[in-house]
Amino acid sequence: ERGITEPTPTFSACFGQAFLELHPTKYAQELVKRMQASGAKAYLVNTGWNGTG
């Protein structure tokens, strides 16, 4: 971030790539392990967004 004076659009895996030490899939695997251990359920909701605006 040093030397940056204007906002610059960028893509970041998991919205925090600069702060993640491991590959994002490692965090996903840990999440799955913890969800299975606790019996938590998650649902994927399709919002209909398709990237065309």
Q: pTM value?
A: 0.54
Half-sphere exposure in the Cβ direction for 25 (13 Å, CA): 0
pLDDT, tens only, 5-36: 888 777 776 677 777 888 889 989 999 999 99
**How many Å apart are CA 23 and CA 49, to the nearest integer?**
26
